[in-house]
Amino acid sequence: MAKVAINLSTGSIQQEEIIVGIDLGTTNSLVAYIHPDGHPLAINDQGRGTIVPSVVHFPAGAQEPIVGTEAKDYLLTDPQNTIYSVKRLLGKSYRDLGEHATQLGYKVIDDNTEGLVKIRVGDRFYSPIELSAEILKELRLRAEHALKTPVNKAVITVPAYFNDSQRQATRDAGRLAGLEVLRIVNEPTAAALAYGIGLSPDEEKTVAVYDLGGGTFDVSILRIQQGIFEVLSTNGDTYLGGDDLDRAIIDYWTSDYQLAAYLYQNGSAQQELRLLAEAAKKHLSRHEEFSADFGGTLLPLTKTKFNELIQPLVERTIVSCRQALADAKLTPQQLDAVLLVGGSTRVPLVYDSVSAFFQQPANSSLNPDEVVALGAAIQADILAGNRRDVLLLDVTPLTLGIETLGGLMDPIIPRNSKIPTKAGRQYTTSVDGQVNLKISVYQGERDLVKENRKLAEFDLRGIPAMPAGLPKVDVNFLLNADGILQVEAIELRSNTRQAVEIKPQYGLTDEQVEQMLMDSLTHAREDVAARMVIEARTVAEQMLYQVERFVDKNSQYLTEDEITQTAAQTQVLREALETNVKDTILKAVDELESLTSPFAERVMNISIKQAMAGKKIE
Ligand code: ADP
Ligand code: MG
């Protein structure tokens, strides 16, 4: 809520700074704030509606782009200079996009230096961050215009499955748009807040948030406990949404009303048909029948026919819901609420199917277009300190850790940790005189780093040469409230420190995040077995290294017999390593150890005596 304060010395009225909530959507974006009456409200500047289509058009020759409904019109007439769905490109590389890159109406090019995609408009190149910033700027201007006050601070929402680089990109877009981004919030968390869930500290709820937008679908299961929003599971399809419902209608009309030839001859007819299909879809959310004239042909559509056309698409979302519920290990009865988000949830078949699947009426009492923005405004209000009873925390969806010997993932911040959070662990070197330590940061649930996603890699250089195992290297992870990670490594004996900036790597596709979480469940048993073999191998390799070094250095103190026996037993261990069988390896390690430890001890005593003898003890 915007509070008004009176400055006692000057008698002037000061309005407290407003923090807006922003839903930066793939198809549509909105900005909301807390009305002085205490309720969140989506901003409707000059009666233009609350929805700002996430479309940016660059008029030929003009300096400033056009954003929103006006820009959307150019999708028909000037597709090359009209950018839509830019959210799909945030924090991603050309490779991440794969086949989808060519399906866009504009040019996505591969910028080899950073690996992150750029978009070509005329002879200029734009990053998805810059384009998102244009949308945010428009939202900021609308808010400033409607509220008649400068707006410099915002909370922005992102899908729960967004990774670090996508979140960072969103934050950067905000900064470019002149907004200080106080918090990046998960969209399902915002939706729950808008429904008033999680606002009282002693509340405990489990909810499903079903979000079907223009081109994306996701479902998240959240557990809300003491103000902590935990994402238990998330699932979905980043290429399934309202556009596909439109496409189903278009395909039906085209084949049943023989439109193919007409569409072929009329360039703009295709886009007209698309708009007509969307109009039909929206109409059927409230009526039983639709019909319109299209170039002299009457195109009818009944609700029954429409439902039949979209049934397979809706069913795909239900499959995702089933999976999300299974991943969260819950039954529908254990859910306190099912919340509907996104314009496409207005389709009655969607409402019915979701309610039937979750065995309870879905909650759609709030405007599904606005609910995420409203929740973001509530989060902003909490950050502004206007709701002191609420403490909001999010959790990290994937484990963060570093690679240790043998390619194992050593988790530092486990998934579902409340954020912000800090954690660290101490490591050492594995080879004598090692002066560099490579630190590779990974994200994911698998035991082997090669199955996880590499976030960053850096060298801690300048470690003074010391025997293996002596340097002490602290690796600290700091995950801030937006889910952005900082990693620091310090060698304690020498105080060598690496100020590390993690370069946001290429983004994961959403399918990959889902896949990573899913894989961790399906491969859990294999992973444990693989980890045990690797651990055994690591012990064995270290043992071989130490024993060989020992024999090398101390051969003068060893008998001929001891040397040949050790060589033979070393060979046994090498062969055991070949088998890759944990028990065989560990058995050979034990044998080598019991063989060598008596004379290792003896030699140690000799060298200690010599060392003492060489020193003057006063
Ligand atoms: P996003 O979150 O991806 O930006 P939205 O939540 O704004 O998307 O959803 C946009 C989609 O909602 C579009 O496909 C639009 O056609 C659809 N939509 C909007 N209103 C209705 C309606 N009344 N009936 C059916 N679909 C609708
Ligand atoms: Mg949305």
- What would the DSSP string read from start to end of 167-233? HHHHHHHHHHTT-EEEEEEEHHHHHHHHTTTT-STT-EEEEEEEEE-SS-EEEEEEEEETTEEEEEE
pLDDT in tens, 51-82: 999 999 999 887 889 999 999 989 888 889 99
Q: Which ligand is nearest to the CA of 345?
A: 1
3-state secondary structure of 369: coil
Q: Which ligand is nearest to the CA of 52?
A: 1
Question: Quick check: is 617 in a domain?
Answer: no
**According to the model, what pLDDT value does residue 525 have?**
62
- What pTM was estimated for this model as a whole? 0.68
Of the two residues 63 and 516, the one the predictor is more confident about is 63
Shared domain check, 573 and 498: no
Q: How many residues does the chain have?
A: 618
Of the two residues 382 and 365, the one the predictor is more confident about is 365
Going by C-beta distance under 8 Å and a sequence separation of 6 or more, which residues neighbour residue 395?
A: 228, 229, 230, 231, 415, 416, 417, 418, 419
> Is pLDDT above 50 for 503?
no
Q: What is the torsional sign of CA 61, 73, 106, 159?
A: positive
Average the pLDDT over 3-14 and give the result: 43
Domain with residue 539: its CATH number is 1.20.1270.10
**Weakest-pLDDT range from 216-220, 352-356, 381-385:** 381-385
Of the two residues 422 and 612, the one the predictor is more confident about is 422
Residue of 182, 178, 175 whose CA lies nearest to 157 = 182
**Weakest-pLDDT range from 215-224, 475-484, 505-514:** 505-514
- Domain housing 374: 1-195+370-384
Of 522, 542, 562, the residue that ends a domain is 522
> Is pLDDT above 90 for 558?
no
> Is pLDDT above 70 for 5?
no
**According to the model, what pLDDT value does residue 507 have?**
44
Alpha-carbon distance 437 to 427, whole Å? 10
| Residues assigned a catalytic role | 23, 87, 187, 211
Shared domain check, 274 and 324: yes
Average the pLDDT over 469-478 and give the result: 88
Alpha-carbon distance 325 to 115, whole Å? 36
Q: Report the chain's mean pLDDT, rounded to a whole number.
A: 86
Using 50, 70 and 90 to split pLDDT, how confident is the model at 393?
low
Question: Quick check: is 389 in a domain?
Answer: no
Alpha-carbon distance 375 to 191, whole Å? 5
CA of 264 from ligand 1 middle (Å) equals 28
Of 522, 537, 553, the residue that ends a domain is 522
How many C-beta neighbours within 10 Å does residue 190 have? 29
Find the residues whose C-beta lies inside 6 A of ligand 1.
Answer: 25-28, 213-216, 241-243, 278, 281-282, 285, 342-344, 346-347, 369
**According to the model, what pLDDT value does residue 520 have?**
59
Shared domain check, 314 and 179: no
**Weakest-pLDDT range from 45-54, 88-97, 177-186, 309-318:** 88-97
Shared domain check, 433 and 357: no
Domain with residue 290: its CATH number is 3.30.420.40
Using 50, 70 and 90 to split pLDDT, how confident is the model at 1?
very low
Residue of 344, 349, 367 to mutate, ligand 1, most atoms within 8 A of C-beta = 344
**According to the model, what pLDDT value does residue 606 have?**
72
pLDDT in tens, 203-218: 899 999 999 999 999 9
Of the two residues 299 and 605, the one the predictor is more confident about is 299
Using 50, 70 and 90 to split pLDDT, how confident is the model at 13?
very low
Tally of domains in the chain? 4
Shared domain check, 476 and 591: no
Using 50, 70 and 90 to split pLDDT, how confident is the model at 540?
confident
**According to the model, what pLDDT value does residue 394 have?**
63
Going by C-beta distance under 8 Å and a sequence separation of 6 or more, which residues neighbour residue 540?
A: 573, 576, 577, 585, 586, 588, 589
Residue of 182, 177, 180, 227 whose CA lies nearest to 52 = 177
- Exposed, middle or buried: residue 24 (CB in 10 Å: 0-12, 13-18, 19+)? buried
